[in-house]
Amino acid sequence: MNARVPAFVLGGTGYVAGELLRLIAGHPHFELAGVLSDSQAGGGIAEAFPHLQSAYAGRSFLDLAEIEALLGAAPRAALFSAAPHGVAAALIDRLLQVAESGATDVHCVDISADFRYRNAHAYGAVYGHAHGAPARIAEFTCALPEHLARSPTAHVAHPGCFASAILLCVVPLLAAGIAEPTLFVSGVTGSTGSGRKPVEGTHHPRRHSDLYAYNPLAHRHVPEILACAEAASGVAAQVHFVPHSGPFARGIHVTVQARLRKPMSGSAVRDALRDYYAGQPFVRVTEAMPRLKDVVASNYAHLGVAADGTTAVVTAVLDNLDKGAAGGAVQWMNRLFGFDETAGLAAPAPGWT
């Protein structure tokens, strides 16, 4: 059991997959066994991700048949899915069938939206198409590691990057009975959150030196946020969310405003959040308002607090590719295999990015 666990990555050429590959390269317990890319099978990993040349020189993307053969022959495996929503579910289902046929002890962490909802109807209502593997939904639990000590299922669906930042703020407010369950959120995300394929909203000349809102009060992650917040806190809430596109590549900054149930000072609210996240290695409640540069390219999230007696403000910053996606997925996978959850993730942010 001391041998490193073979790790498989799906959706191999996207930004989140690239970040997974970077984290796996330095992980003490996982070792890359294969990266799936039907479109670039046979192509070099370092050609798609030049910054990973030192880790994966000579390694190539594999097709599905090659991944199936390797997975079916492995005694245990970590399956990371960074495939797009609408694609991930059927692909995961197929590979889990392969693992089951070969008696492979496998855990999967899906970073897409496909297993974040409790049933296929809820998923279809948000994404407008049928779920790719409805029979598998019950095998996945959707939560942040900080909000669930142990997954009751063998597989985990990681919340989205905006959802991760918002949930870190709102869950302790609700769980501790600090705030009324109607919350107002403004958030800003970097361009990597929209994926690798250039589109109008993320094209650099359009986004550079600009800031604009999109999908106000209609962001598709809100139902996911509500479900995860209620599961973690026991409180049904309303979240009114206005997302923004920021002129930077990596990072998310969210500001949550909530009415206090009783008069509280900022220090009292801050102490309550510190108590809630005590023992959680990747969440820090800071004295000053947090800054993106202090967390970008790390798995840490920083939370700041202010209150005026009637209203509380909680701000959060995290890296959308790390804590909001790949890093959070590795953190969950560490837990699923019984490793220290900080394994491969404890490096501090580089700063001045």
**Spatial distance between the Cα atoms of 140 and 135, rounded to a whole number of angstroms:** 11
pLDDT per position as a tens digit, 111-161: 999 999 999 999 999 999 999 999 999 999 999 999 999 999 999 999 999
Using DSSP, how many helices (H) and how many strands (E) does the chain show?
Answer: 11, 13
The pLDDT score that the predictor gives to residue 6 is: 98
CATH class of 161-320: alpha beta
Phi, psi of 27 (to 5 degrees): -85, 140
Q: What's the Cα-to-Cα distance from 239 to each of 65, 101, 147, 184, 185, rounded to whole Å?
A: 43, 43, 18, 6, 7
**Spatial distance between the Cα atoms of 336 and 189, rounded to a whole number of angstroms:** 29
Crossing angle (nearest 10°) for helices 88-101 and 64-73 = 40
Q: How far apart are the first and last CA of the chain?
A: 39
8-state DSSP, 93: H
8-state DSSP, 173: H
The pLDDT score that the predictor gives to residue 13 is: 87
Residue 145 · residue 332 · CB < 8 Å: yes
**Spatial distance between the Cα atoms of 336 and 322, rounded to a whole number of angstroms:** 18
State how beta strands 179-189 and 238-245 pair.
parallel
Report residue 110 CA to chain centroid gap: 9
Q: What's the Cα-to-Cα distance from 151 to each of 23, 109, 142, 147, 255, rounded to whole Å?
A: 22, 11, 9, 10, 28
H-only helix segments in the chain: 15-25, 45-48, 53-56, 64-73, 88-101, 120-127, 161-175, 204-207, 222-233, 266-276, 327-336
Catalytically active residues, by annotation: 161
Residues of the chain with pLDDT under 50: none
Residue 63 · residue 38 · CB < 8 Å: yes
Residue 334 · residue 343 · CB < 8 Å: yes
**Spatial distance between the Cα atoms of 275 and 270, rounded to a whole number of angstroms:** 9
Task: Note the CATH number of domain 5-142.
Answer: 3.40.50.720
Residue 307 · residue 178 · CB < 8 Å: no
pLDDT per position as a tens digit, 34-62: 999 988 999 999 999 999 999 999 999 99
Q: Is the pTM of this model over 0.85?
A: yes
Domain ranges of the chain: 5-142, 161-320
Residue 163 · residue 318 · CB < 8 Å: no
- Return the closest-CA partner of residue 184 out of 95, 257, 246: 257
Report residue 164 CA to chain centroid gap: 6
The pLDDT score that the predictor gives to residue 254 is: 98
